[in-house]
A and B are shown apart, each in its own frame.
Chain A
Amino acid sequence: MKIVGIAACTSGIAHTYIAREKIMKAAQKLGYDIHMETQGTIGTENALTPEDIKEADFVLLAVDIKVGGRERFKGKKVVEVDTNTAIKAPTQLLEKVVDKLGLTE
């Protein structure tokens, strides 16, 4: 399972990075390969590469605001939640999406 995603919150200094960390940890625990980009107030960090996106099974957006570069995900399955959901229940979130998309291996 390969996942790519973006995290972005309103202030762009705290929740963005907490959400990224929580999702990455949950994904590792579930044995998924994940790349998360952050779009904080400082700008984009850990940017997704075209290869990451091409290989991904789905795109996970944990965002409270409009994020840049959505056109990169054209033709991909995109799931959008707020950062709060991702921080509170990252494991459930990933499991739910994988389940809904019928991707269980």
Chain B
Amino acid sequence: MLKKLQLKKHAMTAISYMLPLVVASGLLIAIGNLTGGTQITKFTGDYSLPSTLTTLGVWGMGLLAPVISAAIAYSIADRPGIAPGLLSGIISYNIGAGFLGGMLGGFITGWVVAALVKYVKVPKWAEGLKPMMIVPLLSSLIMAVLMFYIVGQPIVWATNWLTTFLNSMQGSARFLFGSILGGMAAFDFGGPVNKVASLFADGMLLQNVQQPEAVKILASMVPPFGVSLSWLFAHFLRRRIYTKREEDNIKIAFPMGIVMITEGVIPIAAVDLIRVVISCTIGAAIGGGLSMAWGIKSPVPSGGLFIVPAMNKPLLFCLALLIGSLITAFLLLILKKRVPDDKYDNPEDDLEDDEDDEEVNLDDIKIN
């Protein structure tokens, strides 16, 4: 039953559509703030370019809930889902139900629209009206009632509770929370677990809770930096732990890491999954815990090292990042096996070889 609902696929579709919006808006805010911009409230006089960037960025973040909601509804109900999905999302944004409201609203909208398309039967002369008027109007009416009167309020409470909870956490609880979030963000190098952590941090940013965002940024950079550092140390200690091909991949992963794209580590992790995942997750968890415990805040959701100056404590952030990356590097040095000289540039022995399939259970594949 749960599998049939395809909750994960719909949520991933939403994240997929949301990412470019968050990145663009976040960078606009960062560039605007760093160049002295503030949000414009009166549009009568002159305003500076930095202020226009900040303002557009803030508006863009406001589109987050509508875009999530529309994308989920689209994923469920196809094109007819988009308009009512946007409307549900804008309700969520304005009543303060944030991204949680956007997600839940998106699912309900999608199911409502899919049901309307399927079950509403109209006479022949009204067939053109069905997609153009009947489905959009009926679904929006239903969603308005649901969002304003039933679903919205509990989510506002939940969001407020979460916000207060995160703000009121102290000492070790904060460290623990930071390490869980950081560990999740680094665990699968930009995969679904990372996206869940990422979505949570972005959602919290909308509620003006900026600490999780700093943890997310840190944890996304620990794997590439940790791996790069471990290669550097291994080089000096004359302890070879990477093959030629892996070294080439590290040279690609490092610059990607600077702009906080973790995916560059995937080729290095793929050949030695467990050791690399353990090292990166622990490093990111400790770095994330420190970031949270030290109260580091990031008003911007992405941009890597370039947006560190926009944080409230840039130097402490760098320290936490360094500690996390060092831990990852040391763990890799200890855990990874030595590469013998004759295997160094011998690609045949590379486990990454495409010929070998892993064991995967393919029994429940469905063909439609």
* A65 pairs with B13, CB closer than 8 A: yes
Cβ B360 vs Cβ A65 within 8 A = no
The reply to whether B266 and A14 form a contact with Cβ atoms under 8 Å apart is yes
**A49 located at the interface, meaning its Cβ lies under 8 Å from any Cβ of chain B in the complex:** no
> How far apart sit A63 and B16, CA to CA, in the bound complex (Å)?
12
- Is the Cβ of B19 less than 8 Å from the Cβ of A11? yes
Q: Mark B1-39, 1 if CB is under 8 A from A, else 0.
A: 000000001101101100110000000000000000000
- Contact check, A89 vs B360: say whether CB atoms are below 8 A apart: yes
What residues of chain B lie closer than 8 Å to A33, measured between beta carbons?
none
- Tell me whether A88 and B368 are in contact (CB under 8 A): no
- Count residues of chain A with CB under 8 A from any CB of chain B: 34
- Of listed A14, A77, A93, A101, residue having the most chain B CB within 10 A: A14
Does A47 belong to the interface (CB within 8 Å)?
Answer: no
A residues in contact with B13, CB < 8 Å? 65-66
Q: B358: which of A12, A63, A66, A89 is its contact (CB, 8 Å)? A: A89
Cβ of A2 within 8 Å of any chain B Cβ, yes or no, is no
Q: How large is the interface on B (under 10, 10 to 19, 20 to 34, 35 or more residues)?
A: 20 to 34
Q: Across the interface, do A81 and B75 meet the contact criterion of CB distance under 8 Å?
A: no
Which residues of B have CB within 8 Å of A101? 367
* Interface assignment of B314: CB less than 8 Å from any CB of chain A: no
B362 touches A65 (CB 8 A): no
Q: A15-B191, A100-B367 are in contact. List 6 more A-B contacts (CB 8 A).
A: A64-B12, A65-B13, A77-B368, A85-B362, A89-B358, A92-B357
Partner-B contacts on A (CB < 8 A): 9-15, 18, 22, 25-26, 29, 41, 58, 63-66, 77-81, 85, 88-93, 96-97, 100-101
- Contacts A10-B192, A66-B10 hold; do A81 and B368 have CB atoms under 8 A apart? no
Contacts of B366 in A (CB 8 A): 79-80
Contact of B263 among A13, A96, A97 (CB under 8 A): A13
Task: Determine if A93 and B74 form an interchain contact, defined as CB atoms under 8 angstroms apart.
Answer: no
Instruction: Tell which of B19, B261, B266, B360 has the most Cβ of chain A within 10 Å.
Output: B360
Q: Contacts of B365 on A, CB cut-off 8 Å?
A: 79, 81, 93, 96-97, 100
- Docked-complex contact A88 and B360, CB < 8 angstroms: yes
Interface centre among A11, A93, A100 (most CB of B within 10 A): A11
- Asked whether, in the complex, the Cβ of B12 is within 8 Å of the Cβ of A92, the reply is no
Please indicate the chain A residues that have their CB under 8 angstroms from the CB of B301 in the complex.
none
Instruction: Give complex CA distance A25, B357 in Å.
Output: 12
Which chain B residues in 332-368 approach chain A with CB under 8 Å? 354-355, 357-360, 362, 365-368
